Every structure is written in structure tokens, then in C-alpha cells.
Structure 1
Amino acid sequence: MKMPDDAPFPGGGRYGEAFFRPEQAGEGERIDFGALAYDDITMARLRALGAGPGWRCLDVGAGTGTVSGRLLGEAGVTSVLAVDRDVRFLAERSVPGLEVLEADIAAPGFATGLRGPFHLVHARFVLMHLPDRERLIAALAGLVAPGGVLVLSDAVDLTSDRAPGTPYTAAMRAMWQGLGATIGTDVSWVPSYPQLLRGAGLGSVAAEIHVPPLLPRSALSRFWAETWERSREAMIATGLVDDAGVDAAVRYLESEECAALSAGMLTAWGRKPGGSPR
């Protein structure tokens, strides 16, 4: 599915097109660095919410399929429909119970074309890059079976005005501002997830934040370094950093001098009123 040519994305770009193109060398590896940093906490939450045998799951913006694969192999769910706008990484996975669909969740009518409902609908680091989030959350909530859960995770920016002035802080601020201006990324509204889930008719709403440590040569440090490299043009266009500033931030990440907070991952969830999800 494709968005109309006049879709209202700030700056005229889209994730995966203007930046983070899946065909770019090393993009799958960059996504996997993020997975190494966040998958364990994601899986712990999904299992705590009941994901297990008998569950049909929808994994939105599934990327390289690490969460989809672990839901099937580790949690033992019955099936996972993994959806992404580009499924080249998902196509490399051959896991019993995994179905892959190339589709755009922002396209009108996306939800009506799926064989739902699902016991679990999960989206991580997806909605922060898209407009019309309230509509999308309502549409995803509509795909949840009675007793099932909708789980949304996105980034929260921790580089406040009081954060020390380091190369890392400058790079993160430039990244958020640059991606906002070019592809519409906006994490400022992410703390409103619990209220948005409640507004979509879900109950038992709650949320948590996980902030993995920034350590030299860690998967998370490599993720941010690769992310800055791919979004360098947008970062420089903000005027907050130049090429030398981005390079300095990468060196800072890999040094023992690094003392900073990574962006956090806020995960919020709500349960559809009704019967048991099993």
C-alpha cells in the first residue's frame, strides 16, 4: 500500500525513503543493533502481558523480525503477522507460524484488510515517524481481540535544557530536530500514549520507560553512531552541528569519557474489554 502523493509529511520525506533506506548498505545491521539494546525488555513486557500459546499476534513495523521471531520461538505464540512497508529483511526469515505482509499502516483502509482480530498488536519505534497518530492508535486498537492487548513503544528524548553540553547532547538535539524537519519524526507527544490508549477504548492502561546504558562498543552506541551517519545531512541542516560535530559525537560515544543518557523507550499498553485473550 502506498500513501497518496499529497500525504502531509513534514518536510516532504518519509522514514525509509528520505533517510534509513532499507537498500542502503548496513541498514539491517543498524536495526539489529537497536534490537540488541531493546528486545529483551520488549519480550519481558509482552510475556508479562500474557503472550504465549494460542495467541495470534500482529507485529507492526517489524523491521528485521527479531521480535516476531522471539514471540514464536521464545513465547510460543501460535502465529505472527509481521507487517512492514519494505519486507526485504523479513523475507530472509523462515520461521513456522510467521506470515509476512508488505503494507503501509498509514494508508487509508489498512486495518480493514487484515484477518483480525489479534490477541496482541505490537508496534515499536513506528508511530513516532508518522502523522495522524490518534487515528492510527484507534485503528490498531480496533484490531485487538476482546481480552487482548495493544502495546506501543517509542522513544522519549532525555536531552533536556539542563543536560550537560557534550558532543553527544548536541548530536541528539540535532538529530531530533533534523528528522522532525525532514520526515516528521516527533517524540514530544509519546508521553501521551497512556491517555491515547484510554481514549481508544482500552482499559488496564499502564506504561514504563527503559533507558539502556550507553557503553563504549555496545550495541546501543553503535546504533546511535549508525543512525547519525544516515541522518547526517538532516542534522547538519539544523545548524546545531557540523560534520566535525557529528564525528566528535561518534568518538565521544566510543570513549571512556562518555557520560550521558540514551533516549529512553516508553512502552504503554492497554487491554480490550471483554473475554479472555486465549
Structure 2
Amino acid sequence: MSTAAGGGRYGEDVFRPEEAGEGERIDYGALAYDDTTMARLRALGAGPGWHCLDIGAGTGTVSRRLLDEAGVASVLAVDRDVRFLPDHPGLDVLEADVTARGFSPGRFRLVHARFVLMHLAEHERLVTKLAELVEPGGFLVLGDAVDLTSDRAPGTPYTAVMRAMWQGLRETIGTDVSWVPSYPQLLRGAGLAPVAAEIHVPPLEPGSPISRFWADTWERSRAAMRATGLVDDAAVDAAVRWLDSPECASLSAGLLTAWGRKPAEAGVPG
């Protein structure tokens, strides 16, 4: 990730890769969302012969499943910090910044980025840039969080802390999910058609991967959340307990996945 709109950096200022447990935090998110992501990629046809680009690959769970389950030909996994990406047959690893003007790793049948652009500025430019990396007939698939803690959401410890988290991350590293529902329009503006989108909301249950993910994420972002003035340490601790209680009844942030297809070149099968 590059410098964000708020002036901070994702991996340097809040979610530091060198901190103990950061790889496990990423994996909890993967456990919550990977099945949904893979179902969509498989439905779009990801399979033998496909060369794929996985942006912000994290610990490489989607990259590896594309290779092992979908049987794609290759995956190039890209991240600014690649320490969590393992050696794996068919997996190539590139340490790079997707926002860099010179980022141009080639063209791919599938370009996928999940929980990446929400942390970065220049959304329209980046969507257009990623669309340029898709070969004719291929797909750009983007996934990011949608905040479901509206003013009408129940006033629970979870809701209060989630609101503080979104505001704190926006003010420190520039995270902004307010624009995520505009993905279909951005994909169409980048020349892709048809486009479509779907939302998955994993259940918050005691001990579930998504509950563990949020608890760990709040711990990483605790200082940023306190700085908003919306919560204190006691409120964060209460929300963690809420996640592990049978009374927990809230909606997790959802994953909005949007995709578009680059038109095939005239006379070339798509």
C-alpha cells in the first residue's frame, strides 16, 4: 500500500507486518471471506490456462486456491510486503506498489484485488489502471468492505467501536469505504462490460474467524480509535467481550465484490 489520503501508510502506521500475529489476523479475514471470493472467481470461469494477478495478496490464500482448486496456469501475487507469501508451485511473487506510476507487470486473464483500494486514494485512476492490465476477454474483480453501521443500526458495543474504527482509520491512513458501492460505475467507466456486483456478510458468532479478525483489528487500531474521541479503552474491551458473548447480534462489515469483463478483440474468441 502507498501513502494514503490521511497521510499515513497502511503497513507502517497501523497494521505493521513485523508485529506478532499480523499474519494470523490476515488469515482470519481470509477464513471469513475466501470461500465467497473463490466461488465468484470460479463462476467467472477461472481455471486451466488462466494467468492471474492477485493484488495485495496478503498471505496468499486466494492465490494458492486459484492454483490448487481452480487449476489456473499461474498467479502473480503482488504486495508491498511479501513476507507472508510462501513458496508454492505456479506462484510468482512480486514486491511492488500498485499505486506507482511505473507499475506494469503485464496482462492477465484475471486481475483480482480485495481489501486494497479502500485504503488508497485516486480510486478512479487505480480502477482504470487495473483494467488496463486485463487482457481482452478477461475479468477485473474488486472486493472491498461496506460499512453496515448506519445511524439506524442498533446501539451495541460492536457498533460503537466499528464507527470509531472507520473514522480512526480514515483520519490516520486514509481508509474510506464510503465510495465502495460505486464500483460498478467505476468498472463501466474503465471500459468493462458487462459489470455486476454482490455482497456477502459473514455472521458474527463467538469464536468465528470474522469475530477474531475484528478483535485483532481493533487491537491494532486502538490508538487511532481512541484519538477520535468516540471510544476509550473500556469501550473497545467491551466490544471484544461482546463478540464472544451469546448476546452478540450485529451485522459485520460486508464484502462487496464487483466485476467487469474487458471486451474481446474483434475476431478473437473471448
Of 152, 167, 190, the residue aligned with 1:177 is: 167
1:4-51 CA-partner distances (Å, limit 9, x unpaired):
xxx5x3332111110111111000000000000000000000000010
How does the TM-score come out when normalised to structure 2?
A: 0.97
Moved over 3 A (4+): none
1:45-68 CA-partner distances (Å, limit 9, x unpaired):
000001000000000000000000
User: Are 2:184 and 1:194 equivalent residues in the alignment?
Assistant: yes
Aligned to 2:242: 252
User: What is the SS of the residue equivalent to 1:95?
Assistant: coil
User: What is the SS of the residue equivalent to 2:70?
Assistant: coil
Distance 1:208 1:270 in 2: 12
User: What is the SS of the residue equivalent to 1:18?
Assistant: helix
Aligned to 2:252: 262
Deviation, 1:80, is 0.2
How does the TM-score come out when normalised to structure 1?
A: 0.94
Of 90, 93, 117, the residue aligned with 2:107 is: 117
Which runs of 5 or more residues in structure 1 are unaligned?
Answer: none
Distance 1:10 1:154 in 2: 17
User: Are 2:95 and 1:102 equivalent residues in the alignment?
Assistant: yes
2:108 partner amino acid: F
Aligned to 1:77: 72
Deviation, 1:106, is 0.9
Query: Identity, % of aligned pairs?
Result: 78
- Tell me if structure 1 keeps the 8 A contact 2:5–2:120: no
Distance 1:276 1:205 in 2: 19
2:24 partner amino acid: E
- Tell me if structure 2 keeps the 8 A contact 1:148–1:276: no
Q: Please show how residues 205-224 of structure 1 align to structure 2 within 5 Å.
A: 205-224=195-214
Of 39, 55, 62, the residue aligned with 1:60 is: 55
Of 165, 175, 178, the residue aligned with 2:155 is: 165
- Tell me if structure 2 keeps the 8 A contact 1:71–1:77: yes
Distance 2:6 2:133 in 1: 31
1:221 partner amino acid: S
Distance 1:224 1:36 in 2: 13
Aligned to 2:31: 36
Distance 1:154 1:174 in 2: 18
- Tell me if structure 1 keeps the 8 A contact 2:51–2:73: yes
Q: Structure 1 residues 42, 126: closer, same or farther in 2, change over 3 A?
A: same
Aligned to 1:27: 22
User: What is the SS of the residue equivalent to 2:183?
Assistant: helix
2:205 partner amino acid: L
